[in-house]
Structure 1
């Protein structure tokens, strides 16, 4: 495709991002006193490993901070009120790149700033009609990769022939039909009829503005497109593409933007792998032909084509969910999901292809792998889970087997090219690792979250135990004095078709074991996220009102293998709705929950499941709280972001081909079955699930005589990131549930 593709791509560079200089951010540079009990997350270290850039919400908004790992003053680098979602320090130490969400919405932009807070500039996403997010840094720090979402121009007629569902393009956004010319092609820019379709384009951008942006990949009708690594010699790029459930690692030749090889990779963390120094081996976190993700080594020829594939490390019944490369480049850091908790290892890479000088994993060698979710599905602190989402990680403690790996390549470690791998287990003070960055010589910096603490950053100097950074909040600051954090217990409900489910039950303080309680069934988003018992202020708000919380993993959740994730596809979603009722029944039959005082609540996909449960099982719950949930799939597909529609179609169904199924699955199609009061909550700038999804079902509930309210949160998108809004949300939801469960 070389000549033709190059010609196409030359014409496509007119939309390349332009640098926009900004005034230095006015505001605090000295360490302020925290205004809220804060969390710190997403660390990215400088080349020495002595200083770390990170996200912190101590002022009430997630913002960009930097400070020394071993203590001392920390500094606010950007005092603007836009929430920060990603951070990456350049390998040469000159720049810190970060993604912000203006107005708290889903249209993000990428900025760069110097470590002293000067030189702030927009790198991509300055145009309000586009959206941009971070990729990796080039190994020498000369450029940062960014992905730009470019919406299509308005068209009078559908880009793909066919009858459309009623109301397809009448609300919140333009209709986006899926598939068609050039769908799924990485590197080929759209042409002909494809020009009216949305596109994701990835560029390498020089933050100094000396060199012109270089196109790495473009995809028409894309779901995701992220540059995860550039080989040290600049010949190859590692690109992650594809919708949820069908992610792929694509090796792109930079000379002609041709595809070298393609390999399936797991959902979850977007930083999927890294090239060896000679570009002949690609280390990947992948579930290629596997039930659970493992560390694979793909051998590459000179054109980037795969010539061999081997398993370097695996763990029975556990996913590899984070992959990073510490400073010496001859080791990898692996975080395994073991029944909900993290087991952290370091692994010696085969000597034939070491990880590279200063190798530090994505992005771009400057730091380790990213948090647990990518754009569009990440949440802020105060949502269940690690910063970054309603399905954050955690467990009650070290899982059985997490300490049995020893120093000789414990169970599941195998050899890649160059011989057997050697592992070392790293003890953790809290249950879950959400990000790994390189630290000083031989060390790491990790972001941790747990059931009894706010998210924080810990240093792991060499073989020493992890140590909390002084600027992370203390464990005792997680909850108000006199109210200890509640540790949940695991439950294993069985669905009516025999499938084993999972979940965690939180018992309100002071309640005896034989006292059935009012209980809220809380459903995570995704659907592929996983309920893991990290500290969640919402749960503790409910527990403080005397309400128990049961947070289950219904089919479609992650952490239990690929088959479980795919069990809700197509008509399997009806079974997922029944899973909610079966989980509620399990809580009742085990004597924990009062069958006459049950409520259901959830966010995003969990909000959809909440609405679906209320109309499919109308006699089971007293009330429901739906947060940013889809109420009608036809209007959802019409109004959501085009790249989200592409990904959602694989999970829920195609809005044209599967319209009858999607209509049957839509809560609005059964709204006459609603019997109970409903509270809906939405962010005003949510373009993932547009606010109209909540507005229309609240309006329909009121028309049928049911109490229904809508709380619209200002300056928020799909995730609630501002402390005052999170607090308002928690209190409003708790007031509502307390009124209908205990009043």
Structure 2
């Protein structure tokens, strides 16, 4: 990182982000009437802890709101701070209370930009990501609130003589640099060929070529003054980076804590801001990108890490003046459980810990040692720490933790029978629901019963114990086998959690059971389980789907003659793979934003996603034959049942061509196949009307083929 960043200083490849003023948002406008089924999430409190900025979809689109932590009748004091229709994805209130930073996805796609607005709705401006073709991601605020960290994704440089932009006169967004293998697929996105022939000039190497000869995207992180009085300050830069996020800056500004690396190989990097040199590097866990924080004196980095461990724990890394590690100890751990979320109270000496216990959350607060990493104590804690304080939760899963004034916290919670909401946790008290979060009785439409799932632990044919949750349709007694939809989550490092999922309630309301399993590759079961699908292990993950079906059939829950499979993203891939590897098992399938051919996926996806996915799925050149074997399109002749594919029109993560080609191939072979394209959506479906359309279309399809 240091050499690359120094090269950025001497050989700039693009301008630092510029502030772009926008029209003020009317923060005091009348609050729009809420949707009864709204959700609230991603809270960030002001310095007093009295007000919270958060994301809410009460208007049908996730937007930026503020509201009081307590008081207010039916959320009457709520303010909508940005009425634009672009979905909001992240929020951070500045420590000095003057600004709220947030990330939006223009047009609902995958490219994002960072904005700032004052709490009264004035001064709204784009901080980063305004340039065409670029994307920006939100990092932390400095401790004094004078600057916010942003990461800018810069497209690969064009070869000499090429247009500066794809949309410039004579430009072509499909231009290829250099020679490609004869069987390399035509691309429909911005991906690069990893490890192939040299295709452009990139990186700090003297001859301008990247180490593997590939054109790389460049990620650069800056500290930006929202007022625009000071120039942006470069913090880190990397070519070919999968991720780069500034998670914290020390109180004195000497050090920055940066998260980088592809899936399965995330790292915490301590960077010296004076010379951009690397102090220390330590492996950290996948999942939530907010990996830790410096102690008030900057001598300790508290990290959520699985360094040389099966499960993530809270580690303390002692640091010297240059940010180099001088010690490492375990502060908090739980046997067989991942530390999933880590946050800190305002004083920096109290940690808030959310543990993943078989899919549900258990929450604790913990006093930290006053200075430096402590030696491990018997029982796994560290000397100098007080015993952890357990906090009971009203719902199953914590999705976000934020500071809320002296000693307080705000929690985003979700449960199987309620929509996401924000809860206030005062010091030494129980969580209290904020008045503007949905009530439990508003979770599902009147007359429909919310379903609480039961945990299941299937065993794969090779003896590996899997997991998952079974949703039984209301009114069906035990011992009556039901039509059942196997729903496969994305990632594959995601985990099925007992949170409110409107799709499942739509399906169970139609009389269909749902089993949502965790096959190998899922998180929550340890590092070995996550890595069990690497390489040829992905064939075993496909077999896991059949083994999960066998479990629910043999246990008497599911009718073997009325089964369907469905999933999104990687789950969409696994759906297609299950249909062609196990053609006699299911009556139908619904693949949502799924990869149908790894060659076309790598050729069409975003470059940073390609960098990260190569570790998980295989390298598109070196592992070409393996990826061909694993691609559903290579076995499409085995398809025997109707297929519905669903895709967002602006998906640049898994391009829509992945669904288009498999639907076309199914039709050519005489099978019923349909494609639902959702307008103004990317890889995630964020708009309420599109989500409803998706749920109803999928449920109609399942009902027709399983009960018709």
- What is the TM-score normalised by the length of structure 1? 0.89
SS in structure 2 at match of 1:192: coil
Quote the offset at 1:158 in angstroms. 10
Name the CA shift for 1:3/1:625 in 2 (closer, same or farther; >3 Å): closer
1:40 aligns with 2:51: no
Counterpart residue number, 2:382: 415
Residue of structure 2 aligned with 1:705, choices 662, 666, 670: 670
Counterparts of 2:391 and 2:50, CA distance in 1: 20
SS in structure 2 at match of 1:630: coil
1:448 aligns with 2:413: yes
Counterpart residue number, 1:370: none
Quote the offset at 1:654 in angstroms. 0.3
8 Å contact kept, 1:277–1:353 = no
Deviations 1:386-405 (A, max 9, x none): xxxxxxxxxxxxxxxxxxxx
Counterpart residue number, 2:153: 149
1:54 aligns with 2:54: yes
Quote the offset at 1:139 in angstroms. 0.7
1:571-720 equivalence runs, <5 A: 571-720=536-685
Counterparts of 1:4 and 1:521, CA distance in 2: 46
Counterparts of 1:480 and 1:165, CA distance in 2: 55
Counterpart residue number, 1:17: 17
Residue of structure 1 aligned with 2:314, choices 289, 295, 313: 295
Deviations 1:634-672 (A, max 9, x none): 000011000000000000000010000000000000000
Deviations 1:533-585 (A, max 9, x none): 11111000000111000000000000000000000000000000000011011
Quote the offset at 1:24 in angstroms. 1.3
8 Å contact kept, 1:507–1:549 = yes
8 Å contact kept, 2:600–2:658 = yes
Name the CA shift for 1:46/1:665 in 2 (closer, same or farther; >3 Å): same
Quote the offset at 1:281 in angstroms. 0.7
1:504-519 equivalence runs, <5 A: 504-519=469-484
Counterparts of 1:614 and 1:536, CA distance in 2: 24
8 Å contact kept, 2:300–2:373 = no
Counterparts of 1:665 and 1:3, CA distance in 2: 38
8 Å contact kept, 2:26–2:80 = no
Counterpart residue number, 1:175: 192
SS in structure 2 at match of 1:285: strand
1:351 aligns with 2:359: no
Counterparts of 1:487 and 1:544, CA distance in 2: 13
Deviations 1:232-288 (A, max 9, x none): 111111000000000000011111111111000000000001111221111000000
Counterparts of 1:452 and 1:411, CA distance in 2: 39
Name the CA shift for 1:498/1:158 in 2 (closer, same or farther; >3 Å): farther
Counterparts of 2:704 and 2:478, CA distance in 1: 24
Deviations 1:444-476 (A, max 9, x none): 110000011000000011111100000001000
8 Å contact kept, 2:300–2:371 = no
Counterparts of 1:520 and 1:260, CA distance in 2: 50
Name the CA shift for 1:628/1:190 in 2 (closer, same or farther; >3 Å): farther
Unpaired runs of at least 5, structure 2: 163-173
8 Å contact kept, 1:319–1:337 = yes
SS in structure 2 at match of 1:669: helix
- What is the TM-score normalised by the length of structure 2? 0.93
Counterparts of 1:570 and 1:108, CA distance in 2: 32
1:192 aligns with 2:208: yes
Counterparts of 2:633 and 2:52, CA distance in 1: 48
Residue of structure 2 aligned with 1:457, choices 411, 422, 426: 422
Quote the offset at 1:701 in angstroms. 0.3
Name the CA shift for 1:274/1:2 in 2 (closer, same or farther; >3 Å): closer
8 Å contact kept, 1:313–1:412 = no
Unpaired runs of at least 5, structure 1: 356-408
Counterpart residue number, 2:253: 234
Counterpart residue number, 2:169: none
SS in structure 1 at match of 2:571: helix
CA RMSD of aligned residues (A): 2.4
Residue of structure 2 aligned with 1:527, choices 492, 502, 505: 492
Counterparts of 1:557 and 1:411, CA distance in 2: 31
1:336 aligns with 2:303: no
Counterpart residue number, 1:394: none
Higher mean C-alpha deviation, range 21-30 or range 608-617: 21-30
Residue of structure 2 aligned with 1:253, choices 272, 279, 295: 272
Counterparts of 1:5 and 1:117, CA distance in 2: 36
8 Å contact kept, 1:315–1:412 = no
Counterpart residue number, 1:263: 282
1:424 aligns with 2:389: yes
Counterparts of 2:650 and 2:289, CA distance in 1: 24
1:64 aligns with 2:83: no
Quote the offset at 1:702 in angstroms. 0.3
Counterpart residue number, 1:212: 231
8 Å contact kept, 1:680–1:710 = yes
Quote the offset at 1:484 in angstroms. 1.9
8 Å contact kept, 2:2–2:278 = no
8 Å contact kept, 2:294–2:300 = yes
Quote the offset at 1:3 in angstroms. 8.9
8 Å contact kept, 1:276–1:354 = no
Counterparts of 2:527 and 2:664, CA distance in 1: 38
Counterpart residue number, 2:516: 551
Counterparts of 1:160 and 1:317, CA distance in 2: 48
Q: How many aligned residue pairs are there?
A: 685
Counterparts of 2:206 and 2:271, CA distance in 1: 17
8 Å contact kept, 1:190–1:219 = no
SS in structure 1 at match of 2:429: coil
Higher mean C-alpha deviation, range 33-42 or range 262-271: 33-42
Counterparts of 1:163 and 1:58, CA distance in 2: 49
Quote the offset at 1:30 in angstroms. 2.5
SS in structure 2 at match of 1:255: coil
Counterpart residue number, 2:697: 732
Counterpart residue number, 2:168: none
Name the CA shift for 1:548/1:161 in 2 (closer, same or farther; >3 Å): same
